[in-house]
Amino acid sequence: MLYTIVNMILVIIALVFIFLGLYSKKDLQGNTITNFYKKLKLFVNENYKFLIIFLFIVTVFTSIYKIGTVPYGMHVDEAGMAYDAISISKYGVDRYLNQFPVYLTNYGGGQSAMYAYLAIPFIKLFGYSPIAVRMPAVILRLIIFICGFFTIKNEKSKTKSLTFLLLLTTVPYFIMQSRWGLDCNLLVGFLTISICLLIQAINKNSYKILIASGILFGLSLYTYALSYIIIPILLFFICIYLLYIKKLNFRKLIVLGIPIFLLALPLMLMILINNGYTNEFKGFITIPLLRNYRGAEISLHNIPNNLYIFTSILSYDNPGVFGNLLIYNSLPYFGTIYYFTIPFFIIGLLDSFTKLYHSIKKKEFNISNIFLFWLFSVVICQLLIVEPNINKANAIFVPIVYFSAMGIVYCSKKIKLLIVLICIILLINFALFFNYYFYHYNEDNMNQYFFATSYLDAVEYARSLQKETIYIEPNLTSQSYIHILLNNQVSPYEYSENNIKTTYNNSEITYVFGIPEEISDMNAVYIIGNNDYLLNLLKSYNFSVANFGNISVFYQNNN
């Protein structure tokens, strides 16, 4: 409640100053304020590089601090990816024995493979751990910062650069997404690199950099399946615009397009395979046939049901749509970019239309247009798919931060000290968020269905009891068996899709995913959730019990 009240007050303060800045008919600066602003501007100019380095250090710190424990546990897709990464690193096949797949099968619906391949070097070097699995996400956030800096430099304004990077460093979305290994979250980073290289190629008229940009756009297709929609739309807008203002010709267009096309070929073939046009390809790589291909989830009919995404992206995932709050994507107290920045985002976005108009009229290049095309490409995609959410829209957050920063700078032109006020409000939000996320988040969110937490504690405790059999109630967490495979680093050649969800044996313990109707094995361990019948049944046998959140471990104490 405290977080909500504080944020409401900060939003009101920001709105008051926005109103004063935009609608006052005279300059609101007094001599004292003007002199202070000049000194502040001089300080920024003299310490510009130091401030950039300081923000980068903060970015590093917020990405690695408590990385092994916050967020605690492991998301179901993160665990599936990690198990496939371990399997490929050791055996060259995923859990379904597909040799170097271009797309992972995961639980049947598929999963982009890029994250798994990026995680393999860290698993090879340091062995399996949540930290090793999450390192690609950490590194990519640092690359987003670096590429964001080189991109925003084109605005030729130190104030704009620092405002953009300050938001990029402190907003909740970029901190939270960099701390766990969800495959789709790579898309925003790969697109940031691709766009940065494309802008550099345009400004320097460099074919080499243009080829590099094409390669990165092509590789971006392997980060998330929704990139198959976003990237073609984005490149269509960008190329039409650049051709019109004569920053791109057909020769350069071909140079950009060839690496994208070549890298897209395996994925094009995968789409044909999964639509029944040809057979699954197995050779030195695998282009798989998925059991639950989700291509039909894209439709114009989804648009009326998806309008909630306009508020969800800036706040938190709609629990009415998903049945529960996807707390690992965003915290309701703070939103994805802090609530006080939303008005600035809207102002920056509206101002970008003016820039687009003048840019087209004068046939001049403006990077604001690239961010505008980028944002619209993601929005169009989100409107077309089934049940869009924050992680599905991850590619949109660099443009959102850009327009928020531009809105702050725009409003500061009338009240020059507004940017100081905004920095203070931002730092208050950041301090509140940092305190909650790193010191209270785990405690408040221990029993998530998709993000195994207390379940992992319960299984680890059950293993420590050194019993021969562990019975696990089904559906304690999503795909509960995957965590057993992962923690035991089971060979994919031992994995049997037909029975692994029922029983897994290793040399020490037999894991049974199901509770027998009659409790006959008194020397076994039973892991139970909020099932009153089973809880009362096991208590009647005088088992000892250990509680982990909403999960209980029953066992016979032989001492």
pLDDT tens across 297-335, in order? 788 889 999 999 999 999 998 887 777 778 999 999 899
Whether residue 546 is contained in a domain is answered as yes
Beta bridge partners of 311: none
Whether residue 295 is contained in a domain is answered as yes
Distance separating alpha carbons of residues 170 and 394, to the nearest angstrom: 16
In terms of domains, do 359 and 465 share one?
no
C-alpha 14 chain-centroid distance: 28
Identify the domain containing residue 494 by its residue range.
453-555
Dihedral pair phi/psi, residue 366, rounded to 5°: -140, 125
- Quick one: what percent of the chain has pLDDT higher than 70? 90
Whether residue 448 is contained in a domain is answered as no
Distance separating alpha carbons of residues 221 and 238, to the nearest angstrom: 17
Whether residue 395 is contained in a domain is answered as yes
Quick check: 145 and 164 in contact, CB under 8 A? no
Distance separating alpha carbons of residues 294 and 384, to the nearest angstrom: 13
Nearest to 514 by CA among 469, 550, 544, 452: 469
Q: 469-472 and 510-513 as β-strands: parallel, antiparallel, unpaired?
A: parallel
In terms of domains, do 31 and 129 share one?
yes
Dihedral pair phi/psi, residue 69, rounded to 5°: -125, -15
Q: Assess whether pLDDT exceeds 70 at residue 28.
A: no
Average pLDDT, the chain: 89
SS3 489: coil
Nearest to 386 by CA among 326, 316, 325, 300: 300
Task: Flag the least confident range among 98-102, 214-218, 282-286.
Answer: 282-286
Distance separating alpha carbons of residues 468 and 531, to the nearest angstrom: 24
**What pLDDT score was predicted for residue 423?**
85
Whether residue 167 is contained in a domain is answered as yes
In terms of domains, do 475 and 431 share one?
no
Of the three residues 398, 420, 443, the one that is the final residue of a domain is 443
Tally of domains within the chain? 2
Dihedral pair phi/psi, residue 252, rounded to 5°: -65, -35
Q: Which residues are CB-contacts of 352 (< 8 A; sequence separation ≥ 6)? A: 368, 369, 371, 372, 403, 406
| Side-chain-side CA neighbours of residue 216 (13 Å) | 20
In terms of domains, do 293 and 371 share one?
yes
- Label residue 1 by pLDDT band (50, 70, 90): low
**What pLDDT score was predicted for residue 11?**
64
Per-residue DSSP letter, 341: G
SS3 405: helix
In terms of domains, do 437 and 507 share one?
no
In terms of domains, do 92 and 208 share one?
yes
Task: Flag the least confident range among 321-330, 434-443, 501-510, 518-527.
Answer: 501-510
Quick check: 173 and 337 in contact, CB under 8 A? yes
In terms of domains, do 470 and 514 share one?
yes
In terms of domains, do 120 and 256 share one?
yes
Q: Dump pLDDT digits (tens) for 103-151.
A: 999 988 899 999 999 999 999 999 999 999 999 999 999 999 999 999 9
**What pLDDT score was predicted for residue 300?**
87
Place of tokens 């087209």: 360
